[in-house]
Amino acid sequence: MNDLDLNRFSRKYSFVAKLGAAVLYSVMVAVALNFFWHPGHIYSSGITGFAQIINTVTSRYMPFTIPTEVMYFALNVPLFILAWVKIGKEFTGYTIFTVFMSSVMMKFIQPTHISLDPILCAIFGAAVNGMGTGLALKNGISTGGLDILGIVVRKKTGMNYGKFNIIVNMVIVIFAGFLFDWSRALYTALNIFINGRMIDAIYTQHHKLQVMIVTEHPTAIIDGIQSKMHRGITILHDAEGAYGHVEKTVLLTIIDTYDLYDIRMTVQDCDPYAFMSVTEVQRIYGRFREQEIV
């Protein structure tokens, strides 16, 4: 297989993976909404939660009812424009497809009969939706709504996606308390927290790690890392081991969580006796190569 064929295969695989993730998310959010959140009178996070609030308000206080799936799509339209301008056309195209499929699935995936404890509704609804959202983000697509704002905020400030979700969605908790009761507000808060934790557990690309390597064979390790990951590396010369008093070199680099396995294998192959330390990074300032969103 030549480079052109490999590039075509990669693009085709990425396209299929993204469409599959979009469909899977749309099914999972529909299950979370119709099987758990609606029966338990619990609100979701983000645009889905606001759509639920509008559905509740119109059904109670208006002569008409706006379905959640219709409001969900309508509220996303301004964010499609934001994504088109700020993030990219291809990214926006996948987002529109994902939101459209989610609206369709919300309409047609309905339980015949379900009655669960509200705490179970909060836990299982959050787990199902968080898993679907995390898988979608992991495959490079957005599920619409606050995902778009979350990506922009993460790129600007470094705040991870789950924490952003929790902060923004406190207003939904307040609405849940006023529209139902404050026990439902508590369940909604639990739902939002679990949803954010589940997303963070699956979508780990935004987690950055600092790797320090102490080695006697720096050139081989540097070549191996840069050929696979294209990461910048800082080289500290003239280090000395306290035990053997052997001259060593210290290498420092910042990687995505996804890169950790590759860098471990590279170091192990080049220098089995190298010392390697990994710590989580909270903030990065200066030049760092993020994965591009197109």
Per-residue pLDDT tens listing for the chain (294 residues): 444 454 454 455 677 888 888 999 999 999 999 999 988 888 888 888 889 989 988 988 888 899 999 999 999 998 888 788 777 788 888 889 999 999 999 999 988 777 678 889 999 999 999 899 888 877 778 788 776 776 666 666 656 555 666 677 787 888 778 877 788 888 888 888 888 788 777 776 556 788 999 998 888 888 888 877 777 888 998 888 777 788 899 999 888 766 777 788 888 888 888 899 988 776 676 665 555 444
Please report the pLDDT score of residue 192 as a whole number: 83
Alpha helix segments (H runs only) across the chain: 3-31, 38-40, 46-61, 68-86, 89-108, 118-138, 146-157, 161-168, 170-179, 182-202, 218-229, 260-270
* The predicted structure's pLDDT at residue 161: 56
The number of beta carbons lying within 10 Å of the beta carbon of residue 202 is 16
pLDDT of residue 4: 45
168, 152 Cβ separation under 8 angstroms: no
CB proximity list for 206: less than 8 A, separation 6 or greater: 154, 160, 161
Dist CA 23 CA 99 (whole Å) = 10
**What pLDDT does residue 68 have?**
92
pLDDT for the residue numbered 12:
58
269-272 contacts: CB < 8 A, separation 24 or more?
269/224, 270/215, 270/217, 270/220, 270/221, 270/224, 271/215, 271/216, 271/217, 271/220, 271/221
What pLDDT is attached to residue 99? 93
What is the pLDDT, as a whole number, of residue 89? 82
Strands 247-256 and 234-240: antiparallel
Ramachandran bin of 41, using left for φ above 0, alpha for ψ from -120 to 50, beta for the remaining angles: left
Question: Would you identify the CATH topology of the domain 208-281?
Answer: Alpha-Beta Plaits (3.30.70)
Q: Residue 33: its pLDDT value, please?
A: 93
Place of tokens 């500290």: 236
Is-above-0.75 flag for pTM? no
Where are the chain's structural domains?
3-202, 208-281
